[in-house]
Amino acid sequence: MKKTKKIVLVVLAALVLLAGGVLAFAGNYLFRFALDPQFGGMIGSYEEGDWTLEGDSAWFSEHSGDRWLTSHDGLELHALYLPQEGESHKYAVICHGYGSIPQLGGRFAARFYDMGFHILAPAARAHEVSEGRYASMGWLERRDIVAWVDALVEQDPQAEIVLFGVSMGGATVMMTAGEADLSPQVKCVIEDCGYSSVWDEFAVQLDEMFGLPTFPVLDAASLVTRLRAGFGFKEASSVEQLKKTKLPMLFIHGEEDDFVPYWMLDVVYGACASPDKERLSVPGAGHGEASWEDPELYWSTVEAFLSRHMGQAGN
């Protein structure tokens, strides 16, 4: 009897160790697949020749210059900067999406430039030529955007700044909006199809791509991320940051978005504590496609919002 009990305990211990090992492997794999450019998963290492720049993106890349910033944790971060030829104190900080590069935001840069804005388009950590071992889905980038804003204000004490971002960039500007030390010279924020939290977004993708449940797989990946990159998926929350902001906010989302699901628009809009907030739903638009699906509605809404919060910015 004692021998049988001992065998059972050994088998159970072996199963627990095996399950723990499998879970640790799965958590580490998902972490690297999603956030490690060197792994070759969702974010590839940057090679300039890998990107085809056409139209506004080629124009933006050709006419902009380089800006550099050392982050609070010692990373060298890159941005493209396109100044107005005439006098202007209006600045648009344009944040790109997951796995993308600032140059591909030329469509947005051109429109803001035509409205009289200087353009600053930072490359997120571990994207383009910005340093960083891992991407952080907007969470650590929120502190980088605070620093980029401070650099603009130091350059121009009269600066009036709008934060604008699409997808991961949208989440980045929402997360930035809740920072207590964000310069008051940020006058408003526009986010397009940003997610409610990193946890929520990865839960959607875990189901869509792998058919796996959040528990315990996502919990394991979040723990690995905390240990290796310094943050957890639930901590990286647009919702919690929006509860702390009073900035005027414009939320935009395509109704056919199934990558950052449309229901997240209700979540982030509802969480926002700002007394001055607006939302725009674009019928027929998939992820990041709102400005393409109905450009007249999109840009008329953006320009009207800017005109209310940045003088004649929308004219």
3-state per-residue secondary structure call for the chain:
CHHHHHHHHHHHHHHHHHHHHHHHHHHHHHHHHHHCHHHCCCCCCCCHHHCCCCHHHHHHHHHCEEEEEECCCCCEEEEEEECCCCCCCEEEEEECCCCCCHHHHHHHHHHHHHCCCEEEEECCCCCCCCCCCCCCCCCCHHHHHHHHHHHHHHHCCCCEEEEEEECHHHHHHHHHHCCCCCCCCEEEEEEECCCCEHHHHHHHHHHHHHCCCCCCHHHHHHHHHHHHHCCCCCCCEHHHHHCCCCCCEEEEEECCCCCCCCHHHHHHHHHCCCCCEEEEEECCCCCCCHHHHCHHHHHHHHHHHHHHHCCCCCC
Q: Which residues pair with residue 162 across a beta bridge?
A: 92, 188
- For residue 49, what pLDDT is reported? 64
The 10 Å CB-count burial string (b at 16+, else e) for 126-146 is bbbebebebbbbbbbbbbbbb
Report pLDDT digits (tens) over 178-223. 999 999 999 999 999 999 999 999 999 999 988 888 989 899 999 9
- For residue 311, what pLDDT is reported? 65
Domains of the chain: 1-43+214-230 (no CATH), 54-197+236-309 (3.40.50.1820)
- For residue 215, what pLDDT is reported? 85
pLDDT tens for each residue of the chain, 315 residues long? 555 554 433 333 333 333 344 456 677 888 988 898 888 667 777 776 678 899 999 999 999 999 999 999 999 999 999 999 988 999 999 999 999 999 999 999 999 999 999 999 999 999 999 999 999 999 999 999 999 999 999 999 999 999 999 999 999 999 999 999 999 999 999 999 999 999 999 999 999 988 888 989 899 999 999 999 999 999 999 999 999 999 999 999 999 999 999 999 999 999 999 999 999 999 999 999 999 999 999 999 999 999 999 864 433
Residue type, 186: V
Please identify which residue in the block is written with the tokens 């699906």: 293
- Taking the C-alpha atoms of residue 300 and residue 158, their distance in angstroms, rounded to an integer, is 26
Using alpha carbons, select from 92, 116, 91, 115 the residue that is nearest to residue 105. Answer: 92
Name the pTM for this structure. 0.91
- For residue 211, what pLDDT is reported? 86
- For residue 40, what pLDDT is reported? 67
Start-to-end C-alpha separation, the chain: 86
Using alpha carbons, select from 275, 246, 274, 122 the residue that is nearest to residue 184. Answer: 246
- Taking the C-alpha atoms of residue 313 and residue 299, their distance in angstroms, rounded to an integer, is 12
Q: How many residues does the chain have?
A: 315
Please identify which residue in the block is written with the tokens 């393409």: 292
Q: Which residues pair with residue 249 across a beta bridge?
A: 189, 277
Report pLDDT digits (tens) over 243-253. 999 999 999 99
- For residue 3, what pLDDT is reported? 54
The 10 Å CB-count burial string (b at 16+, else e) for 270-304 is ebbebeebbbbebeebbbbbbbebbeebbbebbee
